Amino acid sequence: MPAVRREVPSLTEKKLLTLEAKANEIREDILRMLTTAGSGHSAGPLGMADIFTALYFHVLHHNAKKPTWAERDRLFLSNGHIAPVRYVTMAHAGYLPKSELTTLRKFGSRLQGHPEARMLPGLENTSGPLGDGSSQAAGTAYAAKMDGAAWHTYCVMSDGELEAGITWEAALFASRNHLHNLTWIIDRNNIQIDGYTEDIMPLEPLHEKFAAFGFHVIEIDGHNIREFVDACDLAKATFEAPTVIIAHTIPGKGVDFMEFEPAWHGKTPKDKTELNAALRQLRTLGGKIASEMD
């Protein structure tokens, strides 16, 4: 018998605006943190801010004060280079002080360029080798299914890392074992460090590929928080197969000179002038969201 399932809470218009405002704040802190560090990835973290905000502030069952709570949902990050968005979101959620964000990539810091599970409570995996998170999450979901556990396993992945064969081995395993308690979230931003994915190693037709591997496939606008929440809810209601959410995102979202530019995959604002130009754009967006909340 399947385990008792937790539903994703309903999303009111007021809560939606609150989440959109929070995502904008998280983008601002990502840029500040990266500029202070002087190295890191900008495009992916900015593009995934809406999804991480929705996860930590609405979808996930978790407790920042009890990061090893046995009944928590598990969130794996496979593409560890987008760690800045996870660190900032976790700071906003109470897992670490926001002042610690200035230590990104420094010697001895808990906030390394790729997350280390031993260093920061609340991380499920140490990520670095692309593709590994898919198998780690599938194995965890399999164990939960064996135990009849109610918690759900999520794994955030990049589109570029789908070039790694281990991803498709994990897909075969997840499908064969009907891991309905597993949801993969693909950041489909179409870029990787060397350029555009479809120029380097074409992934399309991605929807059909995952369907052929036995996944329940949902495609969404990765910047539409309601669409993402609804997709997570639908994944919870799927009993026959694992789910993959293909989230179409804009790399560098919110900053016009970063958007869609592969060059920003792995670099940061070079100085305060560039940082302030980016922050001005985000503050303008934040003002629009605030006016809708009044």
Per residue in 131-175, pLDDT tens?
899 999 999 999 999 999 999 999 999 999 999 999 999 999 999
Q: Which amino acid would we find at residue 62?
A: H
Q: What's the average model confidence in pLDDT over 219-247?
A: 97
pLDDT of residue 25 exceeding 50? yes
Q: What's the average model confidence in pLDDT over 28-32?
A: 98
Lowest-pLDDT range, 6-15, 141-150, 219-228? 6-15
Helix axes 225-236 and 13-37, enclosed angle (nearest 10): 110
| DSSP SS3 for 184 | strand
pLDDT classification of 128: cutoffs 50, 70, 90: confident
Q: Which pLDDT value is given to residue 1?
A: 42
Q: DSSP secondary-structure letter at 160?
A: G
Q: Which pLDDT value is given to residue 108?
A: 93
Per residue in 111-124, pLDDT tens?
999 999 999 999 99
Q: Which pLDDT value is given to residue 5?
A: 64
- Note if the bond before 129 is cis, omega within 30 degrees: no
Instruction: Judge whether 74 and 136 are in contact, CB under 8 Å.
Output: no
pTM, to two decimals: 0.96
Query: Can you list the positions of beta strands (E) in 193-242?
Result: 195-196, 216-221
Domains along the sequence of the chain with CATH:
13-293 (3.40.50.970)
The burial of 90, by beta-carbon neighbours within 10 Å (0-12 exposed, 13-18 middle, 19 or more buried), is given as: buried
CA angle 91, 144, 221 (to 5 degrees): 55
The full length of the chain comes to 294
